[in-house]
Amino acid sequence: MPRIEANKLLVLGFQAVVALVATWPFLAIASDSAPPSKEPSKQPVATKLASYVPKAKPVAPPTREALDTAITRGVDFILKIQNPSGSWGSATQTKDLNIYAPVPGAHDAFRAAVTALCVSALIDSADARPEVASSIDRGEAWLLENLPKVRRNDITALYNNWTHAYGIEAMVRLWERHEKDPARQKAIRDVIVHQVDRLNRYQYGAGGWGYYDFDTHLQHPGEYVPSFTTATVLLALKEARRVGVEVPESMVTRGVRTVVQQQKPDFTYLYSGNFWKAPMRPINQPGGSLGRSQVCNLALRQWGDKRITDEVLEECLDRLFARNLWLDIGRKRPIPHESYFQVAGYFYYYGSYYAAQCIDELPAEKRPPLKAQLAFRLLPLQEKDGSWWDFPLYNYHQQYGTAMGVMSLVRCRAK
């Protein structure tokens, strides 16, 4: 073939590739995107999604009896699986594919985090049975002794950040439980102060909090910060400040900035900071963000972001309930991110837990249909033994799944 003809073919091929790359993002999101606005600058940010965000079909609200029965069964399961030490969870169940967990620090963090969640769930349940109070007391004693020992124990894994966040939330609940015991409150408050200090110590250089650092291996890790871990920590810091614990303003400012930087125009969120170069990969599309949009919006709203209006919360909840199948398809799959939109199973009850809290942010008259939607999805998934779980994680998955299931359904009760 003459060289000139070959060159023409190369040019045409290059132009075709450029055209495909230019249009690919729109093709990839065509089924889940807004039509372009004719006058985008004149539309309020909070309402410009309302014409195309999907809505789930109305469902009948569950009876109070159905909710109470499910919550009690969940509480009974939590009581049944508590370790003799007062903690929950262990590394005793393994599979061919295990989540990366360098010992011993990773399992210290996992155990402490699920213990904190179980204690929080038992308190939130408001179950007045003496065995529940006894279980909380044993969990409290374990947390007081062991939370201060949890730290980053490997240069690559920072699972301790989850522990510090959920540890703070559990300790705040315990602090409120001991309102007539100042000495006990002081001991609990000291642990909260320590957990805030740990989060300050391990805040990423980019501003938020994550759970891996495979690149920099520094005390303050690198720049690829997950949006949702950062939001989880921000909510815990809000809880700490609510009971009078000092939280450095710089921690909050940098954390909030990290979440905002990963926010997309439709109030969904990138998985982590390294995806800013590829915002339309499946994991970053609305279907991939279903399990983390709620926590990110909630954290920003609680820290004063006026853009996170009631309309934004409602629209993201509508998207979650209408497209919940994307999360459900990934539920119980043993390989993270192998499902559609790269959804991982462990986002199911995590997303439900923060969805329940978003519902509580809305005016009272708007809550009932949304609570019905959430309960409609959670009640049928309760296992025969009373547990909920979404991802096989050693012997921690039933613990966190059940705790989050209980706390979600507690918020579905009529108020």
**117 pLDDT more than 50:** yes
Q: Are 87 and 139 in contact (CB under 8 A)?
A: yes
**55 pLDDT more than 60:** yes
- Note the pLDDT of residue 28: 33
Coil/strand/helix, residue 201: helix
Token code pair at residue 164: 């510090």
CA-CA distance, 369 to 364, in Å (whole number)?
Answer: 11
At residue 18 the predicted structure's pLDDT band, cuts being 50, 70 and 90, is very low
**24 pLDDT more than 70:** no
Note the pLDDT tens digit of each residue in 254-287.
999 999 999 999 999 999 999 988 999 999 999 9
* pTM > 0.85: yes or no: yes
CA-CA distance, 387 to 76, in Å (whole number)?
Answer: 9
At residue 19 the predicted structure's pLDDT band, cuts being 50, 70 and 90, is very low
Helix (H) or strand (E) holding 263: none
Token code pair at residue 363: 């005016």
Which amino acid makes up residue 53? V
| CA-wise closest residue to 406 among 168, 77, 135 | 77
At residue 106 the predicted structure's pLDDT band, cuts being 50, 70 and 90, is very high
CA-CA distance, 108 to 99, in Å (whole number)?
Answer: 14
- Note the pLDDT of residue 51: 55
**388 pLDDT more than 50:** yes
**10 pLDDT more than 60:** no
How many helices (H) and strands (E) are present in the chain, helices listed first?
Answer: 14, 0
At residue 222 the predicted structure's pLDDT band, cuts being 50, 70 and 90, is confident
Kindly state the average pLDDT of the residues 63-71. Answer: 98
Burial class (CB in 10 A: 0-12, 13-18, 19+), 205: middle
**15 pLDDT more than 70:** no
- Note the pLDDT of residue 253: 98
| CA-wise closest residue to 295 among 225, 341, 230 | 230
CA-CA distance, 213 to 225, in Å (whole number)?
Answer: 9
Phi and psi, residue 269, nearest 5°: -140, 145
Give percent of the chain above pLDDT 70. 87
Rounded to the nearest integer, the mean pLDDT of the chain is 89
Preceding omega of 104 cis (within 30 degrees of 0): yes
| CA-wise closest residue to 131 among 184, 78, 190 | 78
Which amino acid makes up residue 148? P
Q: Are 395 and 101 in contact (CB under 8 A)?
A: no
- Note the pLDDT of residue 61: 95
Note the pLDDT tens digit of each residue in 132-170.
999 999 999 999 999 999 999 888 999 999 999 999 999
CA-CA distance, 204 to 411, in Å (whole number)?
Answer: 33
Kindly state the average pLDDT of the residues 40-46. Answer: 41
Note the pLDDT tens digit of each residue in 226-249.
999 999 999 999 999 999 999 999
- Rounded to 10 degrees, the C-alpha dihedral 303/308/314/316 comes to -90
Note the pLDDT tens digit of each residue in 345-367.
999 999 999 999 999 999 999 99
* 112 or 14, higher pLDDT: 112
342 backbone φψ class: left, alpha, beta (φ>0; ψ -120 to 50): left
Q: Are 127 and 72 in contact (CB under 8 A)?
A: yes
At residue 5 the predicted structure's pLDDT band, cuts being 50, 70 and 90, is very low
At residue 32 the predicted structure's pLDDT band, cuts being 50, 70 and 90, is very low
Helix (H) or strand (E) holding 361: helix 348-361
Give percent of the chain above pLDDT 90. 80
- Note the pLDDT of residue 224: 85
Task: Write the DSSP symbol of residue 215.
Answer: S
- Note the pLDDT of residue 30: 30
Phi and psi, residue 96, nearest 5°: -60, -35
296 backbone φψ class: left, alpha, beta (φ>0; ψ -120 to 50): alpha
The domains located in the chain, with CATH, are: 46-410 (1.50.10.20)
